[in-house]
Amino acid sequence: MHRGLFITFEGPEGAGKSTQARRLYERLQAAGYPVILTREPGGTRIGELIRRILIDLRHTEMAPTTEILLFSAARAQLVSELIRPYLATGGIVVCDRYADSTFAYQGYGLGRDLEELRVITEVATGGLKPDLTFYLQIDVEIGLQRKQHARERSERGGQPAEWNRLDARDLAYHRRVMHGFVELMKQEPERWHALDADQPVDELAEQIWHAVMPLLDRITPLATR
């Protein structure tokens, strides 16, 4: 067991995971807690290179097994280089997606054998699980619309927005993924905290903060170290 706190964000495309992960990170930092924000796939130099391969729209020939192993390789690097060492110092790690996404996307979405994914994930993470996982619940269509709008804004010269190989899969796939997340939550209800993501950013951030607060008594703030 580690001394820190490992918090992840999951949910369908455009639910607001990155937005809320950043808000939580900033609030923890402002409150004086040792915290890092990271994301999957990526978060390390090697992991970000793997991410580029995974999301490239040209890579239509990628075999499902390749996809699974690349996600897992990026995860293995992130866990060993960043997450485990930081948790060992008693810090808080906020991660935008983690292993649950593999089960939802490659397992339920692409129909890969769940037991096989468990073995691969165990190898990649050494069994490291989040202490708390937020599930941002949103209709698949609304989430994809949010991303479309972000993309249009970016094409008009706004903030850059990403539309990648995995987003481009069909609606039925995204619905299977969502069903997968619901199944995963049923298996470990104590770890998950589901929230209605079709609410203003500030309100969601407030609900997330209230769920995290009770866990903070085990973390020593930076000033008192």
Ligand X SMILES: Nc1ncnc2c1ncn2[C@@H]1O[C@H](COP(=O)(O)OP(=O)(O)OP(=O)(O)O)[C@@H](O)[C@H]1O
User: What letters, b where the CB count within 10 A reaches 16 and e where it falls short, cover 89-122?
Assistant: ebbbbbbbbbbbbbbbbbbbbeebeeeebeebbe
Exactly one of 99, 185, 204, 212 binds ligand X (CB under 6 A); that residue is 204
Alpha helices in 126-200 (DSSP H): 140-155, 171-187
By CB under 6 A, the residues from 10 to 39 that bind ligand X are: 11, 13-19
| Residue count of the chain | 225
Residue 179 DSSP SS3: helix
- Closer to Mg ion by Cβ: residue 18 or 220: 18
DSSP assignment of 18-49 equals HHHHHHHHHHHHHTT--EEEEESS-SSHHHHH
Is 47 a residue that touches ligand X (CB under 6 A)? no
Contact segment (CB under 6 A) with ligand X among 8-16, 71-79, 121-129, 182-190 equals 8-16
Residue 37: beta bridge partners?
Answer: 94
Is 166 a residue that touches ligand X (CB under 6 A)? no
Query: In the bound complex, what is the minimum distance in angstroms from residue 19's beta carbon to Mg ion?
Result: 8
Q: Which does 13 bind (CB under 5 to 8 A by kind): ligand X, Mg ion, none?
A: ligand X
Distance CA(189)–CA(126), nearest Å, equals 22
Q: Strand (E) positions, 81-180? A: 92-96, 132-137
Query: In the bound complex, what is the minimum distance in angstroms from residue 218's beta carbon to ligand X?
Result: 27
Exactly one of 172, 182, 201, 222 binds ligand X (CB under 6 A); that residue is 201
x/- map, 77-116, ligand X, by CB under 6 A:
----------------------------------------
- Report CA-CA distances (Å) from 192 to 64, 107, 129, 185, 189: 27, 19, 12, 6, 5
Is 133 a residue that touches ligand X (CB under 6 A)? no
Is 207 a residue that touches ligand X (CB under 6 A)? no
Residues found near ligand X in the complex (CB under 6 A) = 11, 13-19, 146-147, 150, 199-201, 204
Q: Which residues are annotated as a binding site?
A: 11-18
Q: Which residues are annotated as a binding site for ATP?
A: 11-18
